[in-house]
Chain A
Amino acid sequence: MKCAVVPREKFKSAVGLLIDGYVAAIPVKENGVLEYKKMDGKAGEKDLAGLAAYAVDCDELPYKSPKEFLFPQVEELMVFDNDSCTAVEKDTRDKIAVVGVKPCDLNALKVLLTVFFQGKYKDDNVTGRRENIMLIGTGCAKKKPGCFCDERGINKNFSSECDIFIEKPVDENDSFRFYSFTVGGDDVLDRLVTGGFGSYSDYEPACGQREGNGCEKEELVIEAEETELFDTADWEGISERCLGCGICTYICPTCHCFDFRDALAGNKTIRYRCWDSCMYPKFTLHASGHNPRASKKERFRQRVLHKYVYVKKNFGYVACTGCGRCIRSCPAGMNIRNVVREISGIRV
């Protein structure tokens, strides 16, 4: 880890240098909704550095997480013609700088990347994209309605799950601090310091040093064995209001299930990969007609236990960051935080 101190007046140009040479993905507000937009227009036409600097400073969580930059909702995976089948690597070599990613979403990307990087097989498309993406993180000043990152042990002020993390000044005499955590991050910091935008410092991240600065205790957890709550919790009652629309899974920054679909294009066939959802009955329907998750009771249980128990058992961490998106988006008012509290006996 390196840390460069960047004075306020140089902040905008320093951010401009970070995104130089990349297509910048920056949260911008349109019709009242904050969403990541890829700024691939001609540089100079828009004040990209200004937009990026504003995004770093902005204390709002984008409506959707940035997972699409690594794992698009729909992508071409391969093309068949009569004689060959070729992998499609479209978009996987684009250099994208994702700006202003909050700690919850940085932690979510860690989960997503673990699934696609680890195990016996690697996913070439997702891993290829990660190599070409620069993640620029930033903290949250306050929790948003529905957020429970603190209960999930995520420090809203700081995260090292990125290439560069920008810490904002605490008062008007303070400066910005840019931390790097990867080789790619180190390189841009070097350029930044050599370019005169900041100077190296041995400043430690503020986590745990200043009052109210997070380093929260991970208290929203499920300790029980997977077979235990699977049978004992009242999943029928818990899932009663769920409509099975699947929005919670599409909006979730850690959900990563997918399906393949073939489409004919002239004399070729394109095999697409598209997001899928465990909230749909056909997700697990066998060809015989048998369905291990035939009702919403089983499907809702899968969503909760997968995030809180199964992923933890496989990779060591829970796949829910407490971003609150599923709670804010659910048309039926389902609340995963309350469900976990209820079934694990934590007082609501």
Chain B
Amino acid sequence: MGNAYIPFKARIALILQETSSDVDIKTFRIKPADKDKRMDFMPGQFFEFSVPGVGEAPFGFASSPYEKDFFEVSIKKTGLVTEVIHNLKPGDTVWIRGPLGNSFPVEKMEGSNILVVAGGLGLAPLRPLILYMLEPANRSKYKNISMLLAARSSGDFIYMRDISEWSRRDDTEVILTIDRPEEGWKGKVGFPHNLLGEMQIDISDTYAITCGPPIMIKFVSGKLVEMGIPKSKIYTTLEMRMTCGVGKCGKCNIGHKYVCVDGPVFSMEELSGMPQEY
């Protein structure tokens, strides 16, 4: 194994502007420069993205793990590194290292119904999971796949091209919701935790996966527990400030767990045994 901190070279192949509103999110398609250096990741894992001279920041993979020539990442402009990343152009050189962290328990989830609840950019780390389950070789391993996807307004949904495809399929149920009513909006209105009651959820046999702003994760998981889904079957993925991504720098701990190596995916059962410090 090589030095855990050294990134390898890659190129930006494609850039998509995801949202037009004030939440500025772009999706970057990244191809390793060297064919032998691939990111063989599982849904839920992340990587470190370096811009030499500016710094390094962690991001979740956002594409299907079955894409072998490239991967995608969706990045919100929030600070130093993300600002510079947003100014990159196709063909530019970037530096990456990973895959890092654990992943969603896709094998344990086999044979059950799946409920995905995502808010805003929280859909990004769940997209590899959805695409993994919808992959023809895997689809039959899971029962019903339902998605409750939330955004502040209709213009804030990321992956609209995927969402329309997932909605068209007859083996998935997709519900969209926005915070406030809008003219012409055909989906739901309201926060996702308030809509869970309206969904057909077989509480005895469902794995729920949720990601979004911390407050949304809190309300949604609280509601799911209240509805009777065991904490061991509710998963989320956490964010912490990170430097090393490999369990050394001491930045990302919650109690004795390190989000970069023990996470970022945790079940509510694990989280309830940890200090509430995230």
Residue positions of A touching B, CB distance < 8 A: 77-78, 80, 82-87, 115-116, 119-124, 226-227, 230-231, 256-262, 264, 269, 271, 273, 276, 278, 283-288, 290, 292-293, 298, 302, 305-306, 309-311, 313-314
Contact = CB atoms under 8 A, between A and B. Distances in A.
A271 B52 contact: yes
Nearest to A289: B78
Contacts of A310: 253, 255-256
A78 B50 CA distance: 12
Given A85-B6, A284-B240, A293-B277, A230 B249 contact: no
A286 B248 contact: no
B135 to A, nearest CB: 27
A271 B55 CA distance: 8
Contacts, number: 123
B255 A227 contact: yes
A87 B239 CA distance: 28
A84 B5 contact: no
Contacts of A273: 5
B8 A258 contact: no
Nearest to B79: A287
Interface of chain A, helix or strand or loop or mixed? mixed
Interface string B1-37: 1011111110000000000000000000000000000
A284 B277 CA distance: 11
A124 B54 CA distance: 23
B55 A260 contact: yes
B249 A78 contact: no
Given A80-B52, A260-B55, A292-B277, A85 B247 contact: no
Given A276-B251, A284-B241, 14 more contacts: A77-B5, A85-B52, A116-B248, A226-B256, A231-B275, A256-B250, A258-B243, A262-B53, A276-B243, A293-B277, A306-B253, A309-B256, A313-B256, A314-B256
A204 B128 CA distance: 60
Given A121-B247, A292-B277, A226 B5 contact: no
Contacts of B78: 287-288
Contacts of A302: 253
A85 B244 CA distance: 16
Interface of chain B, helix or strand or loop or mixed? loop
Contacts of A262: 52-55
Give chain B's interface residue range (CB within 8 Å of chain A).
35 or more
Contact of B4 (A82, A123, A288): A123
Nearest to A268: B52
A120 B247 contact: yes
A230 B250 CA distance: 18
6 closest A-B pairs by CB = A257-B250, A80-B52, A269-B52, A121-B246, A310-B256, A287-B78
Contacts of A309: 255-256
Interface in B119-173: none
Given A262-B55, A313-B256, A256 B248 contact: yes
Contacts of A306: 250, 253
Contact of A258 (B6, B54, B248): B248
A118 B252 CA distance: 17
Contact of A121 (B4, B79, B250, B273): B4
Contact of B261 (A120, A124, A256, A313): A120
Contacts of B253: 302, 306, 310
Contacts of A260: 5, 55-56, 243-244
B220 to A, nearest CB: 18
A230 B53 contact: no
A85 B9 contact: yes
